[in-house]
Homo-oligomer: A and B are copies of this chain.
Amino acid sequence: MASCFCADQKSNTKDVSTSYGMQGSDELVRSDDPRHPSNLICSLCKLFYYNNWVTGTGGGISIKHPVTGHIYIAPSGVQKEQLKPEDMFVMDPVTESYIRIPELYKPSACTPLFMSCYRKRDAGAVIHTHSQHAVMCSLIFDKEFRIANIEQIKAIPSGKKDPRLGKDINLSFFDTLIIPIIENTAHEEDLTDGLQEALAHYPTSTAVIVRRHGIYVWGPNVDKAKVYNEAIDYLMELAVKMHNLGIPTDCGIGEEKQYLKR
């Protein structure tokens, strides 16, 4: 679904006058700063919706507040493009108990998976989409999604750090991006085992594809998580097109023509 539905964006945040489950907890989610996690979750979910990544209440997102460390999580089963800041769950990062629970909503079934990424990878944000490119790649590829020699992979971290500057080193053009594919389970929270196993086996990966389901992508902060998610989605889209041309996504440069369907 490629679309535009710009109306009423502002009205979404207008009439918040009711009080919520935990008294005074609105301070945790109300801010004029568009970069506050509550606001960013809303604006990113709109973007993801128009990319066909979270339609029909699919997908989810969580951001760790860079100062307080509080973990913000979009609720379960809601229309993601209509989220309001006051719909957010907020969790204490140490006790892992909710310090704010919105009325009406249930916690996201993705929560244990988000928490795994925070704990095991020191993530600053985690994005979960139902991208059709991810589902398609999970049908085409077996245990790993692999793509090599495409400029866009240079947006993805290699897992190595520059020994002097301590900064992440990204993949180079000649590297192969590998993303593990885990099997889906009946209940989203049961994915945690598979995810944790993948995190252990692929210590440098910044994403995990879930077969016939979608993808989880994380990063040290929300901007990087967004960029990684976009770059990986671009690469998965391209991978499906390459498959349709007959070209293996990790074939050597110059070998394309011997595979190309005519």
Contacts and interface: CB of A to CB of B under 8 A. Distances in A.
Interface of A: 1-9, 11, 34, 43, 46-47, 50-52, 55-58, 79, 130, 132, 135-136, 139-140, 142, 149-152, 155, 172-174, 183-186, 210-214, 223, 226-228, 230-231, 233-234, 237-238, 240-247, 253, 256-257, 260, 262
A251 B237 CA distance: 23
Contact of A3 (B50, B184, B243, B253): B50
Number of copies of chain A assembled together: 4
A193 to B, nearest CB: 16
A34 B56 contact: no
Given A173-B185, A246-B262, A260-B140, A227 B2 contact: no
A174 to B, nearest CB: 6
A34 B8 contact: yes
A257 B211 CA distance: 13
28 contacts: A1-B230, A2-B2, A2-B52, A4-B5, A4-B50, A5-B47, A6-B7, A8-B43, A11-B34, A56-B228, A57-B227, A58-B155, A58-B234, A132-B234, A135-B151, A135-B238, A136-B241, A139-B260, A140-B245, A149-B184, A149-B212, A151-B184, A151-B212, A151-B213, A173-B212, A174-B186, A211-B253, A243-B245
A62 to B, nearest CB: 18
A234 B1 contact: yes
A79 B228 CA distance: 11
A100 B72 CA distance: 38
Nearest to A256: B139
